[in-house]
Amino acid sequence: MKFLKFIISIFSLVAVQNLSAQKITLNELHTMASYKNWETTNKFLISKGWDYYDSSESDGIGYNTISWAHGRNLYDNAKAKGWFYVYNYEGLPNKIMYRFRQKEFYNTIIQQVSSNGYKLTDEEILDNRVVASYENKLFYLKIAYNREEDSDNDDDYYYGGSNKKTYTVYEVSIYKKGGVYDPNNGFKKDYDENGNVISTYNLKDGKIEGLLTNYDSIGRVKRTANFKLGNLEGPSVENFYLAILQNFKG
């Protein structure tokens, strides 16, 4: 009997440790969203028992993506108890996303929202998904609740029904204000359909602030202009390039 109790206590301790390792607080998300390289995030996650899962390189216009998993399924490598993503742009992590099923993890994060100065700014109701958007002085935060189906039988976080299970999956996304994911603030680049940069500029509260630079299809500066609160300030400068023709004698 004592041996049985000992075994049960060992398993309980391991389960608690696994949950603690998978759990990430809002303050920890803030810290990782502020890191200037993805490797620091990697070291933190590895120290908590997460494993590197996958990465994809940008096509030149989009973002590099790195993912980690916690508690991966032994029989299906694509399934795990938790997922963590870093969306990387030009070497700087600009957005992170944390996906999990445990309601207690969600409760911990939602309790920290108001204490970190977040205000609700928007709500969306979609098919099998609802999204609440928040912001404070430094960050944008989105918390989504998804209804997803799964055929596994080894998880307690589901609602059973006939021959299928549906889970509530929590998804927490966060990124800093003024970054590439901030639609109204920060340094921006526009591209043409071939992936060439056609303009660079800074936005402040949705308006161009400072230098706007336009480029031609081969990357030469075509036009520069200065803006203040979205209004042109002073003359713009346009550059013209002469085509160089070469004659070849046969």
Taking 80 as the threshold, does the pLDDT of residue 249 lie above it?
no
153-210 pLDDT, tens per residue? Answer: 555 445 555 556 777 999 999 999 988 888 888 888 888 888 899 999 999 888 999 9
Question: Which pTM value belongs to this model?
Answer: 0.74
121 phi, psi to nearest 5 deg: -115, -20
Residue 12 pLDDT grade (very low, low, confident, very high; cuts 50, 70, 90) = very low
Q: Where are the domains of the chain?
A: 24-176, 186-238
Rg from Cα positions in the chain: 24
Taking 80 as the threshold, does the pLDDT of residue 232 lie above it?
yes
Residue 58 pLDDT grade (very low, low, confident, very high; cuts 50, 70, 90) = confident
pLDDT above 70 covers what percent of the chain? 80
User: Which tokens sit at 7?
Assistant: 């075994």
Q: What is the largest CA-CA distance in the chain?
A: 100
Contacts of 35 (CB under 8 A, 6+ apart): 41, 93
Query: Among candidates 7, 24, 188, which has minimal Cα distance to 102?
Result: 24
Cβ proximity of 196 and 187 under 8 Å: no
User: Which tokens sit at 38?
Assistant: 């993805």
* Orientation angle between helical segments 26-34 and 103-113, nearest 10 degrees: 70
Long-range contacts of 188-196 (CB under 8 A, 24+ apart): 191/61, 192/217, 195/59, 195/60, 195/61
Give the amino acid at 217.
S
SS3 content of the chain, % helix, strand, coil (to 5): 20, 45, 35
Range ranked top by mean pLDDT from 7-16, 18-27, 121-130, 162-171? 121-130
78-98 pLDDT, tens per residue? Answer: 788 899 999 988 767 779 999
Cα 194 from chain centroid (whole Å): 25
